[in-house]
Amino acid sequence: MTAVQHPSTGTTPSTPLPRLQAAPEPERRRRGPAVVAGSLAVGEETVRLGRELAAITLGVERELAGTADKRFADPAWSGHPGYRRLGQGYLAWSASLDRLVDRYEAGGAGWREVERARFAVRALAAAASPTNTLAGNPAALKKALETGGRSVVRGVGQMLTDVRTNGGLPALCDPTAFGVGRNLATTRGAVVYRDDVIELIQYAPATPDVHARPLLVVPPVINRYYLLDLRAGRSFIEHAVGKGFQTFVVSWRNPSKQNAHWDLDTYTERLRRAVAVMKEVTGSPDVNMVGFCAGGILQTLLLNHLAAVDDRSVHSAAYGVTLLDFGERAPIGAFAGKWVTGVARRLSRARGVLGGKSLGSVFSFMKPNDLVFDGLVSQWLQGEPVPAFDVLAWNADAPNLPARLHDQFLGFFRDNSLVQPGALTVLGSPVDLGEITVPTFVTGAITDHLTPWRGCYRTSRLLSGPSTFVLSNGGHIQSLVNPPGNPKAKHWVGGEAVADPEEWRAAAEERTGSWWETWADWTAVRSGPQVPAPETLGSDRHPALTPAPGLYVLDKTPA
C-alpha cells in the first residue's frame, strides 16, 4: 500500500510499498444477446419517446424540463407555446438518447464502447439543438429585430471568416487580443540550451535567496508551454519563481512532416539533456520535476530510465492531471478503438504529423456545447464579437504531433502498454513503473473530462515511491490555471492512499485556496537549503541565448 507524505514534513512510513498492476479490463459478453437486447431497448425507447412527444404536442406537459440548461433561459421557451413544445420535444429526444447509451452499458458493452457511443450521442444532440438555428433561437431573433438586422450581418461575416480560417468552427478567441511575449509568457528568463527538439528556458530569480535544487517544468508535447506562464497573477511559473525555486521549463519545437520520426526516445532523451544542463548551470547534483498531462508521461519514462541505470539525477517528481493507466475509465477512451486509432494512425502517417488544429477540434467535441455551439450561437447567430480570454488563446495555438509519437500514444490508449512491465522500451530501458521510487506529488481535478481524477489517483499508486495525492476542484485546464487568491478554489489532501479513491476522498482534508500552495510546501521540503540567487542566467558552458519566451514557441528557428 502506497504511503502518502505530509506536504510540509515530508515524513513517510518505512514499510515497503507493493507493486500494482494495470486495472483489469472488463469481460466482454457475447455479441448475440447484446444485439437482441439493443434492439429491444431501441424499440422500447421509441415507444416511450412517442408517448412523451404526443403528450408534449397536446400540451399536457406544462413545464419545460431542463430549464437549468442555459440554452433555454430565454422566457420564450416557457411562455410561447410553440417554443415550449419545441424545447420540450428536443430535451425529451436528448434524454432518450442518453437512456439508450445507459442501457447499452447495462447490456454488457465494454466501457470504451460506451464512451464512444456517449461521445457520438452528445455531439449529435448538441448539434441538433434548435438553439443553433436563427429560427429556433428566440434570443437571436430578438437581437436581430433590435439591431435592424445588423447582428445577422455581423454573424454571417464571422461565420465566413471561420470557414476560411478556422476549419468551419466558431473561433474561441480573438487572435489579436493576445501575443506570446507581449501579454502572454512574460516571466523574465532566457533560453540557456537549444537543440533540434527543445529550448530550455531558465527564469530570473525573484527572491534574494533561492533553493539549491532546481525545478524542471515539463509541459505536454501537444500544447504550448505557456499555459503554465499565462499572465501576471495567473502563471504557475511566476508562482514557482516567487517561492524561491530555480525554475526551468522545456519549450517543445513544433514538428513538421520532416520530423515525423520523432518518438518517445526523442522526447525522453531531450528531458535527460535538460536535466544535465540544469545540473551544470546550477551546480546541483540533482533536480526536482513537475510534469503536466502528457508531459507527465514523458517524465515517467525518464524516471524509469534513470532508475534502470541507477542515475539519481531526479530527486522528486510532481504530476499535474496525468493518466498513466489507460485501463481506467475515461472519456478519452472513446478514441481507443482499433478502427478509430487505425484511421488516426493512417492520417498522421500520410501527413507526417497530426495537425494541432485537428486534434483541438476533436477535443472540442468532448464538450460540444461549451467549446463549439456556444460560440456558434453568440457569434454567428447573435453577431457578438469573438471573446478575448487568455486560456482560449492558448487553446487555439496548438502545435503538431509527429506521426511516430502519435502512433505510440495511440498504443497507450488502445493497448494500455505503459503499465505492462516490459511492454515498452525507451532509451534502451524496459518500462516498469514499479521500479520508480522517487517521492511523487500527484494531482487530479474533480470535474476533469479528459483525465478523470480517479485515474490520476491511480497514477499515485502505480509508482513505488512515497506519494502525496491532492484533488483540486474545477476541470482539466481550470485546475492547472489555479493561482492563489481565487476565493472559489479548494482542494483535498488525504492520508494513506488506499485502494478505493472514494474512500480516500471521504477521509481527505478539505483546504481552501489553490493546490499550488500545497505543492510549493511539498517541493520546498525537497529543494535543499537556501543559497544566494544567481546574478546571471546560464553558465560559461551554457550561456543565455535568447530572452524568454524563446524562439520555438513562436515557431521560429535561429538564423
The residues annotated with a catalytic role in the active site are: 293
Helix, strand, coil share of the chain (percent; to 5): 45, 15, 40
Judge whether 382 and 151 are in contact, CB under 8 Å: yes
**Strand 401-402 relative to strand 353-354, pairing:** antiparallel
Distance CA 350, CA 76 (A): 50
- Residue 117, all three cell numbers: 457511443
Dihedral (Cα; 158, 164, 167, 170), 10-degree rounding: -10
Q: Which one-letter amino acid corresponds to residue 236? A: F
The count of C-alpha atoms lying within 13 angstroms of the C-alpha of 368, restricted to the half-sphere facing its C-beta, is 15
Q: Three-state SS for 323?
A: coil
3-state secondary structure 445-501: ECCCCCCCHHHHHHHHHHCCCCEEEEEECCCHHHHHCCCCCCCCCEEEECCCCCCCH
Distance CA 417, CA 431 (A): 9
3-state secondary structure 345-405: HHHHHHHCEECHHHHHHHHHCCCHHHHHHHHHHHHHHCCCCCCCCHHHHHHCCCCCEEHHH
3-state secondary structure 115-155: HHHHHHHHHHHHHCCHHHCCCCCHHHHHHHHHCCCHHHHHH
CB atoms within 10 A of CB 232: 11
Q: Which one-letter amino acid corresponds to residue 386? A: V
Judge whether 73 and 105 are in contact, CB under 8 Å: no
User: Comparing C-alpha atoms, which of 291, 206, 204, 297 is closest to residue 250?
Assistant: 291
Q: Three-state SS for 112?
A: helix
Residue 550: partners with Cβ closer than 8 Å, 6 or more residues away: 191, 194, 199, 201, 251
The count of C-alpha atoms lying within 13 angstroms of the C-alpha of 326, restricted to the half-sphere facing its C-beta, is 23
Cα 20 to Cα 2, 308, 420, distances in angstroms: 10, 18, 10
Residue 7: partners with Cβ closer than 8 Å, 6 or more residues away: 441, 468, 470, 493, 518, 519, 521, 522, 525
Q: Which one-letter amino acid corresponds to residue 243? A: K
